[in-house]
Chain A
């Protein structure tokens, strides 16, 4: 009797898990469709009725990689993501330490203003920056783009790091100082190791945000500073017809890194998607 109920419960559990898996797959389906499209030949892609099963080809991906601008744009995606995030994290960490430990006047106001900036529609931010860059001659320059993206990453990094730093007791600082450690020693050797999760979360999610960014790059960037999203967007709109094989294979290549990132760093997802204002794991 009890054994039977136990197996019934087990069956219920299995059905429950299958439902969960189906829900997850359902959400992934549109993405899967594009991934499949990347492996379809041109005729297969626009075939009616659409096919889920077909003989895959690697021609599209090979073709996308061999397009003239591909590697250059791809490289810039990496350079800007990593460069901007590195600058932003250093700048934000120093400021977060100061805000968290010394609480200078205006800390809360500064935190508020920086967060507000990230809450404005991108198009509204880009209008004045575009005019300013035009006047300074920073349009289409490497440093203009890189530093802009650094600023783009700073608010989020600051919020997340200040949250983590507030969680580290001041006792650590005091103990280290009393024992003759310098402030720099305290900051980098005592406090920094304790906020590693915050650093990782800020880095990963800012990397994804810059990686995905389009509008700023499209308007402020130019030759030598263009990233893949611009290629995706202009690939669609140039001329009348759309080269779907190219779009699909480019999307596949470009969307994989963020997906792998949230698989590897899933426990930071909550912190990352809420500007560090909600902590915990899912």
Chain B
């Protein structure tokens, strides 16, 4: 009996193998068919459709409506009214201008400081504890912006903030860094510079690392002066990576939202309202979704422009490298 049982089992097993055979070959056929590349891309296309294309169409649609989330009134088609109003709004132009100032100041300062620090750290290859030192240096850029925004409020605090203590020791005055109309903006720029100088240092180190050793040695043998060495030897090789770093920083500075929102909520008045903050407040404090959508469309266009420039530089670098 038992023997028969195993026999049946083995027959069944053989059947099972036979049954799976065509499925396997069908899979092989799929692999070799022209559709295979598309099958691999399918998951990402689904994600792209659901989380990018549909929201994008939604955004474009809503930007033509007057649509307040909290009001019972049905949304009303108003054509380009939202955009026209933004175009004519001096407040929004002010926000764009302020964002531009923020980007130029914070990226400019971070770049200059970052390059200087990068040059300073150039010769640190054999420093004891280099890894720990670099971790401390690079920490600001990987911290949650929420935490940074929050704890800088503690540091900037007018009554017990540590920064005010030292400011008071030096100038004899106390400052309300985040509440003062003149200071608030610069206090934000300072935090942003603190956060992102390490990034530019990182990019500078990468740029310096991309310079061929032989050329540096040649410059050493020729006793080229320090500045000339930077200008004629380092810069031609390092400028692309540096350029990419500056562009990435610029894009990131344009995106700044939660840091500012946590520190000042755009205040005092609207002295620290950047594009992202205004957008957030329109959408989720005033619930003016139509207006916020129009702003988002503008932000999207600016972002696409930035990305195009970034990729242009990247491709330019790669074609140059390929030609060489």
| A contact set with B: CB distance below 8 Å | 16-17, 19-21, 23-25, 27-28, 30-31, 33-34, 37, 45-50, 90-92, 94-95, 97-99, 101-102, 104, 110, 112-117, 119-132, 147-148, 150-151, 154, 158, 182-184, 208, 211-215, 219, 229, 232-233, 236, 242, 244, 247-248, 251, 254-255, 258-259, 261-263, 266, 269-270, 273-275, 277-278, 280-282
The residue in chain B whose Cβ has the minimal distance to the Cβ of A235 is B150
| Cβ A280 vs Cβ B307 within 8 A | no
| Cβ B303 vs Cβ A91 within 8 A | no
| Cβ A34 vs Cβ B151 within 8 A | yes
Q: How far is the CB of A32 from chain B (nearest CB, A)?
A: 9
Question: With A115-B311, A128-B293 in contact, is A27–B194 under 8 Å at CB?
Answer: yes
Choose from A45, A236, A263, A278 the contact partner of B241 (Cβ within 8 Å): A278
Complex CA gap A217/B323 in Å reads 46
| Cβ B47 vs Cβ A154 within 8 A | yes
| Cβ A132 vs Cβ B44 within 8 A | no
| Cβ B150 vs Cβ A47 within 8 A | no
Looking at B128, B147, B153, B296, the one whose CB has the most chain A CB atoms below 10 A away is B147
**Known pairs A94-B40, A273-B199. 10 more at Cβ < 8 A?**
A17-B128, A19-B120, A21-B129, A27-B136, A33-B151, A49-B165, A121-B257, A121-B303, A129-B55, A154-B44
> Inside 8 A of A94's CB, which chain B residues have their CB?
40-41, 43-44
Complex CA gap A244/B280 in Å reads 26
| B contact set with A: CB distance below 8 Å | 28, 31-32, 36-38, 40-41, 43-44, 47-48, 50-52, 54-56, 58-59, 62, 117, 120-121, 123-124, 127-129, 131-147, 150-155, 159-160, 162, 165, 194, 197-199, 202-203, 205-206, 209-210, 241, 244-245, 248, 251, 254-258, 262, 275-277, 279-280, 283-284, 289, 292-293, 295-296, 299-300, 303-304, 306-308, 310-311, 314
Q: How far is the CB of B44 from chain A (nearest CB, A)?
A: 4
> Inside 8 A of B123's CB, which chain A residues have their CB?
16
| Cβ B292 vs Cβ A127 within 8 A | yes
Choose from A17, A132, A213, A263 the contact partner of B131 (Cβ within 8 Å): A263
What are the 8 tightest A-B residue pairs by CB atom distance, in nearest-first order?
A102-B37, A128-B55, A212-B144, A98-B40, A124-B296, A128-B59, A121-B276, A95-B44
| Cβ B283 vs Cβ A123 within 8 A | yes
Q: Write 6 A-B pairs (CB below 8 A) sorted by A numbering.
A: A23-B121, A94-B41, A116-B303, A123-B277, A229-B144, A259-B142
Q: How far is the CB of B173 from chain A (nearest CB, A)?
A: 15
Complex CA gap A278/B40 in Å reads 26
| Cβ A50 vs Cβ B160 within 8 A | yes
| Cβ B136 vs Cβ A121 within 8 A | no
| Cβ B127 vs Cβ A20 within 8 A | yes
| Cβ A255 vs Cβ B147 within 8 A | yes
